[in-house]
C-alpha cells in the first residue's frame, strides 16, 4: 500500500507515495538519488546511515520514511554549500579522519548535530556524540581531532 509522503530534504520539498515499510535510507537513496548515506548493518548498530531529522541524528536504516512526513531531513550532501565544503567535511580530510570512507557520512552527521547543540564540545562530549558510529579503519583519534578543528574553525567565523 502506497501512502503520501511530504518531506523536505536538504531544503528541497518532495512529495511522493511510498510503501509503508520503506525506510528513510531507502527513500533518500532510491527515490532522491542521494547516495552519501550508506547502509552498513541495516540494524541501527553502525551509524553509517545517520541523517538529521529536524536537526536530531537518527539511524535512517530503521527510521521509516513515513515517520519523517512533514519533517526536515539533512543528509551528508546537505552539509556543503554548493562547492564549499562544511568545516567538518574539510577538517575530516585535512586531519586524516577518513580512510575507507564508509563510516564518514554518518560520523559527519553525528558531529554536525553535536556542533549545532554544543559549538565547543570537550573530547568526552565528542566521543559520546560519535558513540553510535563505528569505524573499522581509523582508531577514532583523527576523527575526534577533525571535529575539534571544525568546532574551532566554526567558532572563529
Residue ranges per domain, the chain?
2-78, 87-155
pLDDT of residue 42: 87
Residues 6 or more apart from 115 whose CB is under 8 A from it? 88, 121, 147, 150, 151, 154
pTM of the predicted model, to two decimals?
A: 0.95
In angstroms, rounded to a whole number, what is the distance separating the alpha carbons of residues 120 and 148? 8
Instruction: Please state which CATH class domain 87-155 belongs to.
Output: mainly alpha
Q: Are 99 and 138 in contact (CB under 8 A)?
A: yes
Poorest-pLDDT segment among 59-68, 129-138, 141-150:
129-138
Domain 2-78 in CATH 3.10.20.30: yes
Q: What local confidence, expressed as pLDDT, does residue 157 receive?
A: 76
C-beta separation of 73 from 8 below 8 A? yes
pLDDT at 80: 95
2-78 and 87-155, same CATH topology: no
Amino acid at each position: 500500500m502506497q501512502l503520501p509522503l511530504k518531506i523536505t530534504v536538504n531544503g528541497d520539498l518532495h512529495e511522493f507515495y511510498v510503501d509503508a515499510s520503506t525506510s528513510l535510507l531507502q527513500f533518500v537513496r532510491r527515490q532522491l538519488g542521494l547516495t552519501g548515506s550508506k547502509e552498513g548493518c541495516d540494524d541501527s548498530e553502525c551509524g553509517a546511515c545517520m541523517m538529521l531529522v529536524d536537526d536530531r541524528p537518527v539511524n535512517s536504516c530503521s527510521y521509516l520514511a513515513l515517520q519523517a512526513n512533514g519533517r526536515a531531513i539533512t543528509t551528508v550532501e546537505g552539509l556543503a554549500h554548493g562547492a564549499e565544503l562544511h568545516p567538518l567535511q574539510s577538517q575530516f580530510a585535512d586531519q586524516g579522519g577518513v580512510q575507507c570512507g564508509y563510516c564518514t557520512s554518518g560520523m559527519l552527521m553525528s558531529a554536525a548535530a553535536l556542533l549545532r547543540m554544543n559549538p565547543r564540545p570537550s573530547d568526552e562530549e565528542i566521543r559520546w556524540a560519535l558513540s553510535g558510529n563505528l569505524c573499522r579503519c581509523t582508531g577514532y583519534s583523527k576523527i575526534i581531532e577533525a571535529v575539534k578543528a571544525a568546532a574551532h574553525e566554526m567558532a572563529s567565523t
